Amino acid sequence: MIFRSFLLAMGQLSDPRFRRVFFIGIALALALLIGFTAAFTGLINWVTPEEVWLPILGEVRWISDLVSWGSAFLLMFLSVFLMIPVASAITSMFLDDVAEAVEDEHYPGLPAPTKVPFGDALRDTINFLGLLVGVNILAIVLYVLFAPAALFIFWGVNGFLLGREYFTMVAIRRVGRVAAKKLRRRFAGTIWLAGVFMAMPLSVPLLNLIIPILGAATFTHLFHGLTNPRPETGSLHHPQ
């Protein structure tokens, strides 16, 4: 079911609504990271003194430059781990557009979903972003301590978070928040496995940029397959 859902999602990548969410998500993610970098660098420059007196060396004037360069390299390192969670979280804010495109194409005749208010979607996105970034920063410690297993830790942690959040947001549109959480617990294993398959390409440059869109579409198919499995639902081919 997971692979079928993914293949169905792949077959719809040319949908204009998919492309719109992709470009919006990447633009906002880049803007957020650039803004964070500027703010962080400005803070470092503000708290670092221009001159420092050190024993033996005496007055040192290059400490500020050293700290600034160090913070720049730190941000470059963190961006490798944080760019994708940020893009995934921002894409989740526009998940309704992707899910609607999937349902229009593969599940015609469904009643109109319950629209999630923009304020609620924004709140969920901020919470999801904070959770993703926070957990991934903490996971860096595990990557260092268990370096040989770092990639598997990355897949497992992000797979759990992405699967949990994307499935919930897709389900909320159809069954409401309370029932969505019950379904998430009921199908926890399948959802986590699907999330892991979503997280695995996140470590592949360029390919990882499209994964949030594919993930949203895949979990839309997965939700319908788990809650109303019908062999005739969906098709791997677009109607001509």
Helices 188-199 and 2-10 sit at what angle, rounded to 10 degrees?
Answer: 40
Cβ atoms of residues 170 and 102 within 8 Å: no
pLDDT, residue 78, reads 58
Q: How far is CA 191 from the centre of its chain?
A: 15
pLDDT, residue 86, reads 65
Q: What is the pLDDT along the chain (240 residues), one digit of tens a residue?
A: 888 888 888 888 888 888 888 888 777 767 776 777 677 666 666 655 555 444 554 454 545 555 555 555 665 555 555 666 666 666 677 788 888 899 998 998 888 888 777 777 778 778 877 787 788 778 888 888 888 888 898 889 888 988 988 898 899 889 888 999 999 999 999 999 999 988 888 767 666 677 788 888 999 999 999 988 554 444 333 333
Cβ atoms of residues 5 and 222 within 8 Å: yes
Distances (CA, A) of 220 to 106, 150, 191, 202, 223: 10, 29, 12, 19, 5
pLDDT, residue 236, reads 38
Residue 53 parent element (H or E): strand 52-54
Beta bridge partners of 54: 58
Quick one: which of 234, 157, 238 has its CA closest to 1?
234
Cβ atoms of residues 35 and 89 within 8 Å: no
Q: Domain locations in the chain?
A: 2-227
Task: Say which residues have a Cβ less than 8 Å from residue 72's Cβ, sequence separation at least 6.
Answer: 41
Q: For residues 108 and 234, what is the distance between their CA atoms, to the nearest angstrom?
A: 9
pLDDT, residue 102, reads 92
